Amino acid sequence: DAGITQSPRYKITETGRQVTLMCHQTWSHSYMFWYRQDLGHGLRLIYYSAAADITDKGEVPDGYVVSRSKTENFPLTLESATRSQTSVYFCASSEDRVIGELFFGEGSRLTVL
């Protein structure tokens, strides 16, 4: 089915390990985003991408790395996971820079022990 998919849906890891969260969309949307959702903070933007090979920092980029070699994929990597990165991560895509709504994946729940 067309849409935006995230994997894994659930992940438990240990402090210091590298973790990659995958995001794939089938709409060929130009814009893709990574948010984290934490109680009391709502959704905070980590990184976003306007097109393949173009990425930019959001509100909370420290400790995260992204890449966008293909339009449809936008992986998020935690190079050395910390407990403060325990969160629910959402990937989203949009076809328009300003007026387009975001389409969200189902989320990836990450626990760092």
Partner 1 sequence: AQSVAQPEDQVNVAEGNPLTVKCTYSVSGNPYLFWYVQYPNRGLQFLLKYITGDNLVKGSYGFEAEFNKSQTSFHLKKPSALVSDSALYFCAVRSGYTDKLIFGTGTRLQVFP
Could you list the residues that contact partner 1 (CB under 8 A)?
A: 31, 33, 35, 40-45, 48, 50, 56, 58-59, 90, 92, 97-99, 101-107
CB 98, min distance to partner 1, A: 6
CB 80, min distance to partner 1, A: 26
Q: Tell me which DSSP letter residue 70 carries.
A: S
Could you tell me the CA-to-CA distances from 5 to 29, 35, 73, 98 in Å, in that order?
13, 14, 10, 23
CB 107, min distance to partner 1, A: 6
Residue closer to partner 1 (CB basis): 19 or 23: 23
Residue closer to partner 1 (CB basis): 1 or 101: 101
Q: Are 22 and 34 in contact (CB under 8 A)?
A: no
CA 100, 25, 46, 83 torsion: positive or negative?
positive
